[in-house]
Amino acid sequence: MIQQSPAVVTSHERGYGLLELLIATAIGVVVLAVLLRFAVAAHTLTGVQGETMDVQQRLRVAVEAMRHDLELAGAGPTRGPFAGPLNRVFAPIAPARIGVTGADPELSFRPDRVSVMYVPAGGAETRLTADMTSTGSPIVIDGSAPGCRPASACSFAVGADVLIFEAGGVGAAHEVFTVSAVDAANNLLTPSAPLSRPYSAPAQVAEVVRRTYYLDAPGKRLMMYDGARSDVPLVDHVVVLQFAYYGDPRPDSVMPPVPGASSCAYAGTPAVSVLTHLGGDGPKPMAASLLTDGPSCGQPPLRFDADLLRVRRVSITIRVEAESAEFRGRGIGFSSPGVARASTRAVPDLQTTIDVTPPNMTRRILLP
């Protein structure tokens, strides 16, 4: 009988054993965990970087908007005998909301808001050639003044905001109205609402820009009001907005009245300033009490504190937070606590302070 030898089974024919399978699985799980960790870290890093860039961009937009208008604050008419900055008549920077709707009371101080006014470059400007007969009567303007195109009512347009002011020096009457109708043939402008008083020739009229920047604290939004029609949100998740004012310490930095005339900032003959010397030579901080205690200048409803005419620099402090609570942690770096537990997953609030020195507020041009 022929006996057969037992079959010889090689290792590659046996396949994997249970122990080898467990080891391979464990290695695969470890590798997968490492890959997942890297993926989560990359996702988190991408999210943090994106949120950081968003915070920086929103802060940049807010700062540049306010800086732009503050640098132009006080720019006045550029043509004619009464060309010059607006602070020769009234305060073009005010720590309050000024306008048709929701205006703060006269002589108010709100640290989280600022209003500015300026005549834009190339804007329409001229003067009255006849006295207004009533507060609601059309305004007769000089259509042939320098810079005016013939038969154009000096380029004033319906819907334009127009500043009207008397050229009587500091404290003279002024206000802003919106043009509801233009009669180019007769050089007539019709205000959309009656003015506070009838103005007399040669009062000045000029296209004007008004801006109020303020903090909507409940909504965490930087808001801009155009002084007439609308409030527009500019930047979200703004948690701090503060304005500080610095003024020329010298009382005589406010333009004195012409000989024989009076002024809210001067008294006696010869005229002597009634304002307080703030000490030193450079701009000094101006507290709320200084900017609201008088003397009062101007005519209702736009009276203002005479010390506002001394403002030479405005400091803006603004703080912006991450939009999503996912990227906000806890502690002094966060105005609104979030759910981020690790510092690598959190985007702290971003805060900056800038100083703006409006060049038009430093010019002193005497009225003729």
Residues 357 and 172: their CA atoms lie apart, in Å, by 25
User: Is the pLDDT confidence value at 299 over 60?
Assistant: yes
User: Is the pLDDT confidence value at 37 over 80?
Assistant: no
Could you state, in order of their start, the residue ranges of all structural domains in the chain? Answer: 52-120+208-361
Residues 189 and 127: their CA atoms lie apart, in Å, by 12
Quote the pTM value: 0.85
Ranking 110-114, 136-140, 337-341 by mean pLDDT, the lowest is 337-341
Residue-wise pLDDT tens digits, 242-297: 999 999 999 989 988 888 777 899 988 888 899 999 998 889 999 999 999 989 99
Residue-wise pLDDT tens digits, 113-165: 999 999 999 899 999 999 999 999 999 999 999 889 988 999 999 999 999 99
Q: Identify each DSSP E strand in 172-293 by its residue range.
A: 174-183, 188-191, 204-207, 209-216, 221-225, 231-236, 238-247, 266-267, 272-273, 284-285
For 49, 228, 265, the CA distances from 101, given in Å and listed in that order, are 41, 7, 29
Q: Is 147 left (phi over 0), alpha (psi -120 to 50) or beta?
A: left
DSSP 284-302: EE--TTTTTSS-EES-TTS
More confident residue, 182 or 79: 182
Binned at pLDDT 50, 70 and 90, residue 6 comes out as: low
Q: What is the pLDDT of residue 367?
A: 42
Residues 251 and 232: their CA atoms lie apart, in Å, by 38
The mean predicted confidence, pLDDT, of the chain is 88
Residues 6 or more apart whose Cβ sits within 8 Å of residue 27: none
CA neighbor of 77 nearest in space, from 167, 170, 149: 167
Burial (CB count within 10 angstroms: exposed 0-12, middle 13-18, buried 19+), residue 34: exposed
Burial (CB count within 10 angstroms: exposed 0-12, middle 13-18, buried 19+), residue 13: exposed
Q: What is the pLDDT of residue 365?
A: 46
Token digits of residue 23: 């080891």
Average pLDDT over residues 157-176: 92
Average pLDDT over residues 354-358: 97
Residues 6 or more apart whose Cβ sits within 8 Å of residue 31: none
The set of long-range contacts for 250-257, using a CB threshold of 8 Å and a minimum separation of 24, is: 250/277, 251/275, 251/276, 251/277, 253/309, 253/310, 253/364, 254/170, 254/306, 254/309, 254/310, 255/87, 255/88, 255/169, 255/170, 255/309, 255/364, 255/366, 255/367, 257/169, 257/170
For 191, 207, 306, the CA distances from 122, given in Å and listed in that order, are 22, 9, 29
Q: What is the pLDDT of residue 271?
A: 86
Residues 9 and 338: their CA atoms lie apart, in Å, by 64
